[in-house]
Amino acid sequence: MAISIYFSLLLIFLSHFPSSHAEPFIGVNIGQVADNLPPPTETVKLLKSSSIEKVRLYGADPAIIKALAGTGIGIVIGAVNQLLPAMQNVQKALEAASLGGKIKVSTVHSMTVLGSSDPPSSGSFAPGSQAGLKGILQFLSDTGSPFTINPYPFFAYRDDTRPETLAFCLFQPNPGRVDGNTGIKYTNMFDAQVDAVHSALKSMGFEKVEIVVAETGWPSRGDPNEVGPSVDNAKAYNGNLIAHLKSMVGTPLMPGKSVDTYIFALYDENLKPGPSSERAFGLFKTDLSMAYDAGLAKSSGSSSNSSSQTPSGKVTSTGWCVPRNGSTDQQLQASLDWACGQGIDCGPIQPGGACFEPNNVASHAAFAMNMYFQKSPKKPTDCDFSQTATLTSQNPSYNSCVYPGGGGGAGSTGVMNKYVSSDKLESKQNGAVEPKVYSSLSFLLIFVVSLIFRAN
């Protein structure tokens, strides 16, 4: 089939896949092209010690699936198959078992499925793939299943090694790139690639089909002739990506929600062919230690009441770091992503946190900028953020959202954060969260595994 190069893996999501989310999830791919992987039970312990909520498997390995049962970790299972007919057959079997609403079926695509992606608003599918895609997209729309894609800014940088391109790919401060059709300035490659996919879906009449990022990542090492692989770059990309997803700002064309994303990969795979970078995408080493800190450790809490005093009691804070007047949302988003990517606690601005409301870029950036500044040596340059931040003597704390810092004076109740509107302050916060659907029943796991092998 002419389009088979684009669609090689049937995906089965063993959890509800709602059309919108109360909070994003960050998943990870678990590859098995290696001879030194830890036992599945140890892998599950590692996952539970992290903030990873979902995993994607490249096959229905009974040992891994059994170890994951009952953990609350969502599972996506891949199986090689013949596209649309196989998807339809699996869907029929799920519906016959009254599982059609609980388990979603999709197929993964590489970015080569796009014929145009720059600027993002002009995104369209390659002409040779559109005929085959039409039926698949209709299936996804009818079943509420996601369109899954593998965007890799790493490969984009490999083809354009200018310094500004690297910063653009790593979510680091950069001049940005303006979409000439919409006037939107993009500050990172990930958003640009995802929005190009969104535009392609829209061009075929399937704008409402959700997008899931099935793979994205950055290698921590490579061959001498490879450009881009390094521990610093891998940490920057994955750490800043995670912070970006947690900020819930979304992309310019899909604001206010994070695209569900599976990072590649949990471990290095020492038997993969190709350049050294192919064997170096792991977030963790096979001895279960971190390859680098990408910010996936579970938060120890959302308290923001860290002391701003030295052990001797001397006050070192000189105020609060907040956004500078005139800074754009795009500039503040870049600063927000960078700050949260430096290891500070951005939990309070995540859904359910004391500082999540109001849910806008300026408010979240204010909190992140200040947290970074308070943890820094507090030099003037620590509250600069490419000239988007400034120091203030007014406490921006509000309600139960506490900004650490200031001059150490006691009894301050703070002034209302100017980025908080009064209507947002009255918003109901009842602590309700989206219910998680655990694919823990052995019957469900066995049933899906049997479907995969039966469909082959």
Let me know if residue 306 belongs to a domain. no
The average pLDDT across 216-238 equals: 97
Position 431 in a domain: no
- Indicate whether 412 belongs to any domain: yes
The verdict on 441 and 340 lying in the same domain is: no
| Cα–Cα dist 209/193, whole Å | 16
**Per-residue pLDDT tens over the stretch 370-401:** 998 888 878 777 888 888 889 888 889 998 89
Structure tokens at 194: 């995802």
Q: What is the pTM of this model?
A: 0.69
Same domain, yes or no: 39 and 141: yes
DSSP 75-96: EEEEE---HHHHHHHHHHHHHH
Q: Which residue has the higher pLDDT, 329 or 79?
A: 329
Cβ atoms of 179 and 186 closer than 8 Å? yes
The whole domain housing 146 covers: 10-298+436-455
- Give backbone dihedrals phi and psi of 105, rounded to 5 degrees, phi first: -115, 130
Question: Mean pLDDT over residues 59-73, rounded?
Answer: 88
Residue 355 included in any domain: yes
| For the ranges 56-65, 360-369, 371-380, the one whose mean pLDDT is highest | 360-369
Answer yes or no: 278 catalytic. yes
Q: What is the pLDDT of residue 345?
A: 84
Catalytic residue among 246, 269, 357, 378: 269
Same domain, 131 and 175: yes
Q: Which of 278, 375, 418, 424 is catalytic?
A: 278
* Residue 215 appears among annotated catalytic residues: yes
pLDDT, tens digit, for every residue of 423-436?
322 222 332 222 22
Q: Are residues 271 and 337 in the same domain?
A: no
Query: Which residues lie across from 212 on neighbouring strands?
Result: 148, 260
Q: Does one domain contain both 46 and 24?
A: yes
For the cut 50, the answer to whether the pLDDT of residue 166 exceeds it is: yes
164 is known as an active-site residue = no
Tell me how long the chain is.
456
pLDDT mean over 427-448: 33
Number of domains in the chain: 2
Residue 268 lies in a domain: yes
Residue 338 resides in a domain: yes
Q: 5 lies in a domain?
A: no
Whole-number average pLDDT of the chain:
80
Q: Which of 219-223, 231-235, 402-406 has the lowest mean pLDDT?
A: 402-406
Judged against a pLDDT cut of 90, whether residue 81 lies above it is answered with no
State the catalytic residue, choosing from 215, 235, 246, 378. 215
Q: Can you tell me the mean pLDDT for 18-32?
A: 67
Residue 293, in any domain of the structure? yes
Catalytic-role residue among 66, 185, 272, 285: 272
| Cα–Cα distance for residue pair 372/65, rounded to 1 Å | 40
**What angle is formed at CA 351 by the lines to CA 350 and CA 352, rounded to 5 degrees?**
110
Which of 177, 169, 238, 250 shows the shortest CA–CA distance to 210? 250
The confidence score (pLDDT) of residue 251 equals 92
The reply to whether 257 and 125 lie within a common domain is yes
443 and 411 in one domain? no
- pLDDT tens per residue across span 242-276: 988 887 788 999 988 889 999 999 999 999 999 99
Among candidate residues 257, 347, 330, 365, the one with its CA nearest the CA of residue 295: 347
Catalytic status, residue 42: no
Specify the residue for token string 């002739």: 225
